[in-house]
Amino acid sequence: MSKQVQDAYIVSATRLPIGKSGRGYFKNTRPDEMLVKVMQAVLAQAPGLDPAAIEDAIVGCSFPEGEQGMNIARVASVLAGLGPTIGGVTINRYCASGITAVQMAADRIRVGEADVMFAGGVESMSMIPMGGNKPSLSPLIFEKDENIGIAYGMGLTAEKVAAQWKISREAQDAFSVESHRRAVAAMQAGHFDAEMTPFDVIERTPNLADGTVNTKTRTVKLDEGARPDTSLEGLAKLKPVFAAKGSVTAGNSSQTSDGSGGLLIVSEAALKRFNLTPLARFVSFAVRGVPPEIMGIGPIEAIPVALKAAGITAKDLDWVELNEAFAAQSLAVLNDLDSKGIELDRAKVNPNGGAIALGHPLGATGAIRAASVIHGLRRTGGKYGMVTMCVGAGQGAAGIFERL
pLDDT tens digits for range 167-182: 999 999 999 999 999 9
| Average confidence score pLDDT of the chain | 96
DSSP string, 221-289: -S-S---TT--HHHHHTSPPSSSTT----GGGBPPBEEEEEEEEEE-HHHHHHHT----EEEEEEEEEE
Mean predicted confidence (pLDDT) in 1-13: 87
Backbone CA torsion sign across 24, 28, 31, 35:
negative
Residues 329-384: tens digit of each pLDDT: 999 999 999 999 999 999 999 999 999 999 999 999 999 999 999 999 999 999 99
Gap between the Cα atoms of 32 and 70, Å rounded: 10
Reported pTM: 0.96
Alpha carbons 47 and 145: distance in angstroms, whole number: 55
Using alpha carbons, select from 101, 106, 110, 46 the residue that is nearest to residue 76.
101
Percent of the chain with pLDDT over 90: 95
Length of the chain: 404
| Confidence tier at 211 by pLDDT (50, 70, 90) | confident
Q: How far apart are CA 296 and CA 334, in angstroms?
A: 11
Query: Which helix H or strand E contains 310, and what residues bound it?
Result: helix 299-310
Q: What pLDDT does residue 2 have?
A: 56
C-alpha 362/C-alpha 259 separation (Å) is 9
pLDDT, tens digit, 9 for 90 and up, residues 125-159: 999 999 999 999 999 999 999 999 999 999 999 99
Average pLDDT on 26-55 reads: 97
Question: In the predicted model, is pLDDT for residue 1 greater than 70?
Answer: no
Angstrom distance (rounded) from CA 29 to CA 121: 16
Q: Where are the alpha helices (DSSP H) in 92-149?
A: 97-110
pLDDT band at 115 (very low <50, low <70, confident <90, very high): very high
Give catalytic residue positions: 95, 360, 390
**Predicted local confidence at residue 149, as pLDDT:** 92
pLDDT band at 263; cut points 50, 70, 90: very high
